[in-house]
Chains A and B, each alone.
Chain A
């Protein structure tokens, strides 16, 4: 089984964010808490979906990723685009920063 991370969109500006090790929400997927095959993904998702987090983000969900902590690449192309920005506008989104 591949690795997973929790992602969502930030409530105030809608940007894609990732649940990090310290329980915060990071803009970069590389800062995400990595859920391994032995870890309890549902428990992490529940934490990320807590009442407090519902004031910070919208709709947390699990995505599959490849790589190691620090260098993570989503498996699905859709999620790859979320981590970067529109492929047709390299001047916009995270990829532009």
Chain B
């Protein structure tokens, strides 16, 4: 993991003290709310329905056990005993008091954390593949590149007041687990014909009111040019992005209005000016960053573990958890353990302080002290010995963290919605809970197979509902909650925006509607191996429309 140097630590410490002074000045009346609001937002502090909310940055979803323990401490001491992992790999506390927030930020700084880049019209925290450094399909670890981008973008003076927020995602694997195509910039490590690694650069992806898939404007960028090229994109956006209408201010609108080719030409022109500047990355510097992300001290282990195999045979519940939540690791004898934060009928992404402490302990005991957060609101222990999986699972069971539903229908993503969020039009969590309960029986989940359901409580689309296999958008219809369903979206390397299936459903109808869709899929699929998405792509939306609305 990246470790702060003295400069990083000083910068974060000074930022906390600046904010302490800003809070004091707000409380004394020296600053008005209008003056204070952008300052608190730059420190990740929002004002929501019931209280302030602090969004803590977890850079590219990577954290250590010490940081997880500190989250538990903050949840206990200053909040209401829990935190919420978000679809941006970050953590939110829902109840901090403004007067405590400088102390909370100081406590975060003690463990090399902060809330910078979690709000405002700046380059937001970089997101990446939760399996970085562990995935079998990884071409190169995306974390050093994410960290390089993080350091370049943190408090970048030229890009602190962009037309709108700006999100960058990086993947180094062939399977895209970071949804890079729906970010303002998506970076995919890939090989050229000579076998060299470089970046494919996508730009102008994003969801919200105007969902768009990013366009590739550079097929292959030499890695050492990443900062100058990304800076060139930001400069073009900063100059030409619209500031007159916040709904048209994201880069996707600019790319769409200019056309990707014209946009690419502008970037190219800008890039020529700065390509050989101080932004060019010397190999030594890249190597310095890589040194922060060396593989942990893996043991040389046999490919097959008899201990593990015996436990799988002996314990059906464990076997199900392994089947659904454990993934292959690139190091022989190790595995990636997905920890579901979606207990049946629970609140997606919520973790109690006891669970946080237990997870920190498990990370120390089983995964070199490392944890990851995912944009699907789950956690990962990235490096677990296969021999240890059973012990890990038993610990997870004790803390209600062993739900074996990774990638299944109850692993659904839901934003905080109207239960917490100031922007929401409708609730998301209760719907997620009801769908989870409806399909909670494990045999039924296995029967349905892999599927992603994503629920957003407003058009800002925090859960990426447009690219859910089943996406659900909550709207307010004359004071009543209504839910609009989209089908056939996907967020992976073949990203695609789903299509709205028809008129919305009331709160009472919507779970039945989801079940109708699922039943229709099971009826029409060619066999059990044909996933919902594959079947949908084969048969189209019409059979689902007829099932939902009749043949009208």
Q: With A and B bound together, what is the CA distance between A81 and B33 in angstroms?
A: 24
**B97 contacts A by Cβ under 8 Å:** yes
B99 near A88: Cβ-Cβ < 8 Å:
no
Q: With A and B bound together, what is the CA distance between A83 and B95 in angstroms?
A: 15
Stretch at the interface among B24-32, B215-223, B333-341, B363-371: B24-32
A14 near B429: Cβ-Cβ < 8 Å:
no
Stretch at the interface among B48-56, B236-244, B263-271, B272-280: B48-56
B479 near A82: Cβ-Cβ < 8 Å:
no
A86 near B419: Cβ-Cβ < 8 Å:
yes
Q: Which residues does chain B contribute within 8 Å of A58, judged by CB atoms?
A: 33, 47
Query: Which of A11, A14, A54, A76: most chain B Cβ within 10 A?
Result: A14
B48 near A14: Cβ-Cβ < 8 Å:
yes
Given contacts A13-B98, A14-B98, A78-B418, contact A85 B50 (CB under 8 A): yes
B80 near A92: Cβ-Cβ < 8 Å:
yes
Q: With A and B bound together, what is the CA distance between A54 and B95 in angstroms?
A: 21
What 1/0 mask marks residues of chain A from 14 to 28 whose CB sits below 8 Å from any chain B CB?
A: 111000000000000
A81 near B98: Cβ-Cβ < 8 Å:
no
CB proximity of A85 to chain B, nearest CB, Å: 6
**B355 contacts A by Cβ under 8 Å:** no
A93 near B50: Cβ-Cβ < 8 Å:
yes
B430 near A88: Cβ-Cβ < 8 Å:
yes
A59 near B33: Cβ-Cβ < 8 Å:
yes
* Residue of chain A at shortest CB distance from B100: A13
Q: Which residues does chain B contribute within 8 Å of A71, judged by CB atoms?
A: none
What 1/0 mask marks residues of chain B from 32 to 55 whose CB sits below 8 Å from any chain A CB?
A: 110000000000000111111000
**A87 contacts B by Cβ under 8 Å:** yes
Q: Which residues does chain B contribute within 8 Å of A76, judged by CB atoms?
A: 479
CB proximity of B427 to chain A, nearest CB, Å: 6
What 1/0 mask marks residues of chain B from 391 to 413 whose CB sits below 8 Å from any chain A CB?
A: 00000000000000000000000
Q: Which residues does chain B contribute within 8 Å of A13, judged by CB atoms?
A: 51-52, 97-99
Q: With A and B bound together, what is the CA distance between A82 and B33 in angstroms?
A: 21
**A68 contacts B by Cβ under 8 Å:** no
What 1/0 mask marks residues of chain A from 26 to 54 whose CB sits below 8 Å from any chain B CB?
A: 00000000000000000000000001001
A15 near B51: Cβ-Cβ < 8 Å:
yes
Q: Which residues does chain A contribute within 8 Å of B429, judged by CB atoms?
A: 86, 88
A14 near B32: Cβ-Cβ < 8 Å:
no
Q: Which residues does chain A contribute within 8 Å of B361, judged by CB atoms?
A: none
Interface size of B by CB at 8 A reads 28
* Residue of chain B at shortest CB distance from A91: B80
Q: With A and B bound together, what is the CA distance between A82 and B444 in angstroms?
A: 37
Q: With A and B bound together, what is the CA distance between A47 and B181 in angstroms?
A: 49
What 1/0 mask marks residues of chain B from 531 to 552 whose CB sits below 8 Å from any chain A CB?
A: 0000000000000000000000
A60-84 at interface with B (beta carbon < 8 Å):
75-78, 81-82
Q: With A and B bound together, what is the CA distance between A75 and B476 in angstroms?
A: 13
Residue in contact with A82 in the complex, picked from B26, B32, B49, CB distance below 8 Å? B49
A87 near B430: Cβ-Cβ < 8 Å:
yes
**B347 contacts A by Cβ under 8 Å:** yes
A12 near B430: Cβ-Cβ < 8 Å:
no
**B420 contacts A by Cβ under 8 Å:** yes
Q: Which residues does chain A contribute within 8 Å of B47, judged by CB atoms?
A: 9, 14, 58-59
Q: Which residues does chain A contribute within 8 Å of B463, judged by CB atoms?
A: none
CB proximity of B81 to chain A, nearest CB, Å: 9
Q: With A and B bound together, what is the CA distance between A75 and B47 in angstroms?
A: 22
B50 near A55: Cβ-Cβ < 8 Å:
no
**B481 contacts A by Cβ under 8 Å:** yes
B50 near A54: Cβ-Cβ < 8 Å:
no
Q: With A and B bound together, what is the CA distance between A89 and B347 in angstroms?
A: 9
Q: With A and B bound together, what is the CA distance between A18 and B347 in angstroms?
A: 29
Given contacts A76-B479, A88-B433, contact A12 B49 (CB under 8 A): no
A82 near B347: Cβ-Cβ < 8 Å:
no
Residue in contact with B50 in the complex, picked from A11, A51, A59, A86, CB distance below 8 Å? A86
A78 near B49: Cβ-Cβ < 8 Å:
yes
15 more A-B residue pairs beyond the given contacts A16-B49, A86-B419, A86-B420, with a C-beta to C-beta distance below 8 A: A13-B51, A14-B50, A14-B52, A16-B50, A54-B33, A55-B27, A55-B29, A76-B479, A78-B49, A85-B50, A86-B429, A87-B419, A88-B419, A88-B427, A92-B80
Q: Which 9 A-B pairs have the closest CB atoms?
A: A86-B419, A14-B51, A14-B52, A13-B97, A88-B429, A82-B49, A12-B99, A55-B29, A88-B419
> Could you list 11 examples of A-B contacts with CB < 8 Å?
A11-B26, A12-B98, A14-B48, A14-B51, A15-B50, A58-B47, A59-B47, A75-B479, A86-B50, A86-B429, A92-B80
